[in-house]
Amino acid sequence: MTMAAGSIGRLPVPEVLAHADRLARTGGPSVPQGARELADLPVTGPAEVLGISRNAAERHGALLLSSGGTTGEPKLTFVPHHQAVERLSARWRPLVPGSIMLNAFNAGRMWASHYYMQRLAEHSGATVIPFGPLTAEDAMAWAPRLARIGVTAVAGTPTGLADLAEGVLAAGAELPVKTVIWMAEPWTDTKRDAVTRAFPQAGFWGNYGSVETYVIAVNDPRCDPAVLHLLPEQVLEPDDGGALLTRVGEGWTVPVVRYRLGDRVAPAECRCGRGDGLRVLGRADDMVKFRGATFGIGEVLDVVRSVPGVTEAQLGLAGADGDRRTAERLTVRFLGTADAEDVTAELLRAFDRFRQVMSHHPKAVTAVRAERLARIDRTTKVPPATWSKWSEEDR
């Protein structure tokens, strides 16, 4: 009995089958008769996680938390109060006793990251400042006080951390930050550069997961920035429809078998030399229909970011009210010094289907330089795309 070729991580299949059978008695799907391989087990989703985690919460209590809903409907999960930090800390310790961490994740609205950082600091014996996100202006005003306090670690989304860094740089303050903890979205070169300039002695500590699964994989200053390592006692099956996660053992927030994540992942080598490396390739559901053509949001953004002078980009899509899979108009909003006409020209060069659309609908594809990209208020993340309602005037 073996794992599928290309899987990340390894687990004994008999152990997985026994684990799946136990989960079937607490809200998981039944194990098919004669199942012998991981692939024989059914794929699970948010409904199973909600049922299993609710059953556990009735016995031990929990935090009821929700996914961010950045690209889809929010998902509810009952997360145990321990938040799996003991298991996590066995492999990933960004904080130590004496650390003073600024927690720049947004609190409230059932988003997990702020509370996860509070629990991690408590478990690590660190001091935590539960501030929430700071604008660059807030950070500039607070930077001298944060320097006097002696903040040694900061935690937030790359977008929020870049705002903090810009304020610290503008204030000319020197914070003794040695640790940058990040998650929830990928870095851009511009954001990472700002954080590095503000905190030149800091190492970057990343983690990857979701509210439903909590932390799946981590990296640290030894790693390639975009490579993370799967935590032990888990296996990931890459799949174009979203990677499938299976884990065994105690101490996780939620036990899962073949839970479909929202992202596509691929195995990766890392400069640190450790195994079970992975890269997150993007959302599995980022395909959009556009006036008879189909494109991936990620592939369009990759082209836009390749244009000299573009530092960050976001798509503005307009479609029928409530339809987030079919667009009638595409607007690229970007930051940087590039000319909007150059960005549009590169899109039309790279995507023949866009040229065909433009021949019939000249307003359908445009680019505009922006002062700021749209954000998700709840999470401080910059979503890859935003949606608005299309009208006949957009023809």
Which DSSP string corresponds to 268-296? ---TT--SSEEEEEEETT-EEEETTEEEE
pLDDT of residue 1: 42
- Read off the pLDDT of residues 114-133 as tens digits, 9 standing for 90 and up: 999 999 999 999 999 999 99
Q: Which domains does the chain have, with CATH numbers?
A: 65-282 (3.40.50.12780), 287-394 (3.30.300.30)
pTM greater than 0.75? yes
pLDDT of residue 5: 65
Helix axis angle for 136-149 and 158-171, nearest 10°, is 70
pLDDT of residue 252: 97
Spans of the chain below 50 pLDDT: 1-2
- Give the single-character DSSP code of 188: -
What are the backbone dihedrals phi and psi of residue 283, each rounded to the nearest 5 degrees, phi first? -70, 145
Sign of CA dihedral 91, 250, 126, 115: positive
Taking a C-beta distance cutoff of 8 angstroms, is the pair 234, 245 a contact?
yes
pLDDT of residue 325: 82
- Read off the pLDDT of residues 51-98 as tens digits, 9 standing for 90 and up: 999 999 999 999 999 985 555 567 899 999 999 999 999 999 999 999
Strand segments, DSSP code E, in the chain are: 63-66, 76-79, 100-103, 127-129, 153-156, 179-182, 203-210, 214-219, 228-230, 234-237, 244-247, 259-260, 263-267, 277-283, 287-290, 293-296, 310-319, 326-336, 365-369, 385-389
- DSSP3 helix / strand / coil % (the chain, rounded to 5): 30, 25, 45
